[in-house]
Amino acid sequence: MIDADGVHTLGRVVAQAGEIADLLDRSLTGAPTVLVQADNTWRTLAAAIAVGLRGGLIAVISGHAAKSEYDLALEDIQPDAVIASPQAIATWQVDDGELPVVGEAFPGWSVRAAASRRTRGVERWRGGVAIAMTSGSTGRPKCVVQSEEALRYAGQATIDAVGLEPGDPVGALVPLSSVAAFCFGLHLPAMLGSPMVCLDRWSPEDAVALLRDEKVAWTMLVPTMALQLSLVPGSDGALTSLRAMTVGGGPMNATALERAERHLGTRFLRVFGMSECLGHTTPLPAEDADVRLGRDGRPFPGTLVRIVGADGAPLPDGEVGNAQVRGPSLFVGYARDGVPVPPEVTADGFFPTGDRARINDDGTINILGREKQVIIRGGRNLDINEVEAAVAAIPGVAQVCIVPVPDDLLGERAAALVVWSGEPLDLDGVRRELAAADFPKFKWPEFVYDVAHLPQNRVGKLDRSGAISLASSLAAAGIAAPAGTTAGPAVP
């Protein structure tokens, strides 16, 4: 394993894991549920192995989590032990009476175990072996419980699709505290017997250098991160070692992705998945760009995706409706009061994803956005994904996010936050391009902001709430005005 501290051999990682497992064995009776501060270092892998050696369940949480997030995890998971750094322990205000220190996991990092010294067992998790918290972008963060079978299935399906072989270095660039990163950044390379290459904190410049220097064969990024790589000076042709880069977890535009992959010298695989049903579609590296970048892959073997109408009845291929999925990587449930609450599924076992989608004639899928991702302008609904796709096709646009800003007269207006790779255009310039593309005028954005980067959450996904707040504050400050005026200066 390679991280910011250097190279860590399998022997060292396993030896440290054994020491932690022995400490847990001495401190607790029974298989434990352990809440671990997950960072992108060898510590997370060692802690995961240690919990596995004890037959336990690992729950991962970001070291940057607020006290409210820790409290939520404590309430939902009810762990028997906690492993974390002094900084996290202080931020979370961990109760010394309920979780006293029983030893040290890593230099400075403490292991805290339940004062009762007896675990609640892992049978309560009904086959779950790992828990991670969602980003909360669609409401209250949820603690998703995944089984060993689901992790292995999703990992093997990805290995087969990409054509990875034992020894191929795998990049772990997304924080390992997320469900998908734990599966594909930690569990997958362990299954494959491959070097795990970690980036401790997101920096596009550092990411390009790491992927290039360590000759990483595959990694997974969210679109905002992937597109940022192409803006790094000197990144032209830098990622030729990558067999492919899987991109998912946020809005994507084929034009922007094609420009970026051509610049970087690799191939993107546009996929669809979710914490509740891990990475359940993918294209293949050998497929044409219009399939790899313009669609969201085909279901993994054994996974079924269907599109239903408002009445729940399946729709024929080509029609747009609500996506539902059933397959081996479907989660055990959401952790609540220390047990998994099974997902709400249809009578025949399909899980509603909350996404609008279409199945094409060749079996590929197009995810068309969340079911309620619209701007309501003067009583007229504007599809955010449609407007984003139109703006993203403008030459020089690297990334774009369309968000609503409040308006006393119309209720909401559309604002575009744009990261430019070329010369920025003002509002009039953007509208000229949209007019030339014959994009309907009533859908044009009424504010355009030149920004250095789009707001992101901790796992690198687009933070739409942050984007809305940024655009609303800029509009309220009068930095840009509606219809016919130009945008203000670049916003950091």
* pLDDT band, residue 132 (cuts 50/70/90): very high
3-state secondary structure of 460: coil
- Give me the DSSP letters along 29-64: BSPPEEEEEE-SSHHHHHHHHHHHHTT-EEEEEETT
Mean pLDDT of 136-143: 68
Whole-number Å distance between alpha carbons of 187 and 180? 10
Q: Are the beta carbons of 330 and 277 closer than 8 angstroms? A: yes
Q: In this predicted structure, what is the pLDDT of residue 135?
A: 63
Mean pLDDT of 257-264: 94
Mean pLDDT of 227-250: 93
Out of 334-348, 434-448, 473-487, which region has the weakest mean confidence (pLDDT)? 473-487
Write out the two tokens for 246.
């899987």
Predicted structure pTM score: 0.81
Q: Are the beta carbons of 378 and 446 closer than 8 angstroms? A: no
Q: In this predicted structure, what is the pLDDT of residue 463?
A: 85
Q: In this predicted structure, what is the pLDDT of residue 371?
A: 63
**Residue 222: left (phi > 0), alpha (psi -120 to 50), or beta?**
beta
Q: In this predicted structure, what is the pLDDT of residue 61?
A: 96
What's the alpha-carbon Rg for the chain, to the nearest Å? 23
Q: In this predicted structure, what is the pLDDT of residue 136?
A: 52
Pairing outcome for strands 365-370 and 351-359: antiparallel
- Mean pLDDT, the chain, as a whole number? 91
Out of 1-5, 11-15, 235-239, 375-379, which region has the weakest mean confidence (pLDDT)? 375-379
- Taking only the tens place, the pLDDT of each residue in 106-130 is 999 999 999 999 999 999 999 999 9
Q: Are the beta carbons of 265 and 256 closer than 8 angstroms? A: no
Name the residue type at position 177: S
Block residue for tokens 């352990």 = 34
* pLDDT band, residue 492 (cuts 50/70/90): very low
DSSP letter, residue 374:
E
Mean pLDDT of 165-169: 97
Structural domains in the chain, CATH included, are 2-125 (3.40.50.980), 146-328+354-370 (3.40.50.12780), 374-477 (3.30.300.30)
Mean pLDDT of 218-243: 93
Mean pLDDT of 339-363: 94
DSSP letter, residue 423:
S
